[in-house]
Structure 1
Amino acid sequence: MFAARSAVCKSLLSFLRPRPVCVGLIHSSSHCRGANVAVVLSGCGVYDGTEIHEASAILVHLSRGGADVQMYAPDVAQMHVIDHCKGEPAEETRNVLSESARIARGNVKDLAQLSVQHHDAVIFPGGFGAAKNLSTFAVDGTDCIVNKDVERVLKDFHKAGKPIGLCCISPVLAAKVLPNVEVTVGHEEEEGGKWPYAGTTQAIKALGAKHCVKEVQEAHVDTKNKIVTSPAFMCDTKLHHIFDGIGAMVQNVLKLSGK
């Protein structure tokens, strides 16, 4: 009996041990070759990294669309770490790449390795990490600096005519880096708290981009620049509405990829 228990324990420990995984297979339900999509993360957690529900929704919709997925994140220190229970900074440091691995189930690459030649599209989830770790927008507003690899990726995909998807606060990255783009972060008035981050629209306009008002379930498609955006958690609403809006964004990205 002891030998049997020992074998069970060894089997369980083997199952729990971290192992390499093929994200493209996990997130693809199609046997046919679909679009090869890069997803750029900014950590793990809404207040200091990637918004987890947004990342998950993107991956689900990409899976349904038959896409192969590889996740990336910059190998840099987070701006700070937020205790998500207290909503206050914590006395610790974390790495954006290491934290992003939590969402990617370990299969995440350094953003410096992302090449436009290997992907048909790129998608940026939101979360404050886009404004804190992928750029300094949270601190510097329109004078922000965008991470050099984020800027390179956006410019490379734009130049190659390959679609770029962004949601929540991440459209500010495109507004900062790319000229004369059209994006949405939802509505332009707070409307009693339903759109608590509506002021972001003024920054987008100040950066020279055009803001297009959209509902949370919708996505805006800038066909000229092949940029697709959706409000996501810029709206205080039910989760399934956010999920549906992200779905509209992903579906349009895949459509523009031609795969």
Structure 2
Amino acid sequence: MSKGQVLVLGSNATQLGLRGGGTATVGQYLNETAVPALALLDAGYDIVLATPNGAKPHIDAASVSVDHFGGDETAFQRAKYFFASHPAMNDVRTLKSVVDEGLDGFAGVFVPGGHAPIVDLMVDRDAGTILRHFHAAAKPTALLCHGPVVVVAALEDASAFRKALEEGDDAWAADLARDWIYAGYRMTVFSASEEKIAEEQVLKGELYFDMEKALRSAGGNVSVTDKNFASNVVVDRELITGQNPASDRAMADALIEALDRAAA
């Protein structure tokens, strides 16, 4: 018997604009999607995947590597098979349909990382509605790597906030972030120093803003590890954030613990 349903917010983005022109091909990270999802299923929870347009998310080619699974070939192959074949990864809903049908039946929500969420989920109005619901109900809300930047979708005008970040207008960003529901929350996200490495080695270009600054500009109390790509999870009230790909299992464990505690 299922312990409950967890809503997974996926991205449909495949191209990310870079400073100075050009784009990088992006998607969700395989391990950041599959490791927490499999952990939830193994713990007795069902998952429902929803995206802005209802299409299955694209997996970033940079993440399709055994290196993101600690060199464990069995875990790597299980993740690939899961994402390709499991009904939960293929019966994809639209965010709007999930909102319209009601969110009360979900025990928690999870947002995987990869650069893709910066493009669509960060400014998606339905994602904002979902986050505000889980915040108001104090239900576990977990986000991983670049996923935590999606919490700005809960702002009244997230699109304008992102534009302010892109233009480097700190005063405008601060004004748009007034009354943000996560103001003062402790949280983590893919660090600025980790992003520099990703820009050089993966994206081959510079982003318009880094995720640390985005969340601090909104009012988040952001902390990151001194060591790049070391696992780091921060829990504050209902919000659970993981810093980077290496935080996949630790973030999943924290989410499952919070879900079990809420159910009890």
Structure 2 match to 1:53: 31
Contact 2:55 2:92 in 1 (8 A): no
Separation of aligned partners in 2, 1:120 and 1:147? 21
Counterparts in 2 of 1:141-220, with a 5 A limit?
146-175=123-152, 177=154, 178-180=181-183, 181-185=185-189, 187=191, 189-190=193-194, 193=197, 199-214=210-225, 216-220=230-234
Contact 2:7 2:50 in 1 (8 A): yes
Counterparts in 2 of 1:1-259, with a 5 A limit?
32-43=1-12, 47-75=25-53, 104-114=88-98, 115-135=102-122, 146-175=123-152, 177=154, 178-180=181-183, 181-185=185-189, 187=191, 189-190=193-194, 193=197, 199-214=210-225, 216-223=230-237, 226-233=238-245, 241-258=246-263
Following superposition, the deviation at residue 173 of structure 1 comes to: 1.8
Deviation track 1:71-107 (CA, whole Å, cap 9, x = no partner) reads: 11111799xx99958xxxxxxxxxxxxxx99884421
Following superposition, the deviation at residue 131 of structure 1 comes to: 0.4
> What residue identity is the alignment partner of 2:232?
E
Contact 2:140 2:258 in 1 (8 A): yes
Deviation track 1:36-92 (CA, whole Å, cap 9, x = no partner) reads: 1111111387943322221111111101211111111111799xx99958xxxxxxx
My pick for the range that moved more, 69-78 or 106-115, is 69-78
Percent same amino acid at aligned positions? Answer: 23
Contact 1:43 1:73 in 2 (8 A): yes
Report the number of matched residues.
Answer: 193
Residues 74, 101 of structure 1: alpha-carbon distance in 2 compared, 3 angstrom cutoff: farther
> What residue identity is the alignment partner of 2:135?
H
Separation of aligned partners in 1, 2:195 and 2:149? 21
Separation of aligned partners in 2, 1:159 and 1:227? 12
Separation of aligned partners in 1, 2:251 and 2:59? 25
Deviation track 1:139-186 (CA, whole Å, cap 9, x = no partner) reads: xxxxxxx11100100011111121111001111121452331321115
Structure 1 match to 2:20: none
Specify the SS of the correspondent of 1:117: coil
Specify the SS of the correspondent of 1:116: coil
Structure 2 gap segments, 5+ residues each: 16-24, 63-82, 155-180, 201-206
Residues 211, 36 of structure 1: alpha-carbon distance in 2 compared, 3 angstrom cutoff: same
Separation of aligned partners in 2, 1:83 and 1:110? 21
Query: What is the RMSD computed on CA atoms of the aligned residues?
Result: 3.6
Structure number with the bigger relative contact order (C-alpha 8 A, sep ≥ 6) is 2
Residues 212, 257 of structure 1: alpha-carbon distance in 2 compared, 3 angstrom cutoff: farther
Separation of aligned partners in 2, 1:120 and 1:218? 24
Contact 1:188 1:213 in 2 (8 A): no
Give TM-score, length-normalised by structure 1.
0.62
Following superposition, the deviation at residue 201 of structure 1 comes to: 1.3
Separation of aligned partners in 2, 1:130 and 1:165? 14
Give TM-score, length-normalised by structure 2.
0.61
Contact 2:48 2:92 in 1 (8 A): yes
